Amino acid sequence: MQKISPFLWFDTQAEEAVNFYTSIFRNSRIGSVTRYGEAGPAPAGSVMVAQFELEGLRFTALNGGPMFKFTEAISMVVDCNDQAEVDHYWYALSEGGQPGQCGWLKDKFGLSWQIVPEALPRLLSDPDGAKAGRVMQAMLQMTRIEVAKLEAASAG
């Protein structure tokens, strides 16, 4: 059993979000779904709470109303093996959303994601400070992270 899990508050889009996220991540599934009844406070039959898993991590989505919005203070980090994986998640999650700087994006629900190739932390932690600095400068110019450009910056 997972001891701690993300709990995502949506206005009315929890079911849409769960379907969206599980369509993007290959290793995903929708678990239990609890719907509002006649007593409300949302329309009967609409999702109250849905549990789902992405890559083995359990999430809960709630249709709780418009009181709270997502901010960049919390983001989901997707660790990627290569550029193809970066591109898959970047383009899928940013559809209808907003790209940000340095591999960050907001999806169409306002949830922030960081799409990070394994090369980024490796190149940024190079013991040669000049190489790491060039990689940092290259990354700061990017929205979607481009591994080839990071490697070129590292090489000088």
Domains of the chain (ranges, CATH numbers): 1-68 (3.30.720.100), 70-156 (3.10.180.10)
The tokens describing 48, both together, are 């109250």
Return the exposure string of 57-88: e unless at least 16 CB atoms fall within 10 Å of the residue's CB, then b: eebbbbbbeeeeebeeeebbebebeebeebbb
* Of residues 110, 103, 108, 120, the one with CA closest to residue 72: 110
The tokens describing 91, both together, are 């383009």
pLDDT value, residue 40: 82
CB-based contact 56:83 (threshold 8 Å): no
pLDDT value, residue 1: 78
Backbone angles phi, psi at 98, to 5 degrees: -135, 125
Q: For 28-73, what is each residue's pLDDT tens digit? A: 999 999 999 999 888 999 999 999 999 999 999 999 999 999 999 9
Q: For 8-22, what is each residue's pLDDT tens digit? A: 999 999 999 999 999
Q: For 91-102, what is each residue's pLDDT tens digit? A: 999 999 999 999
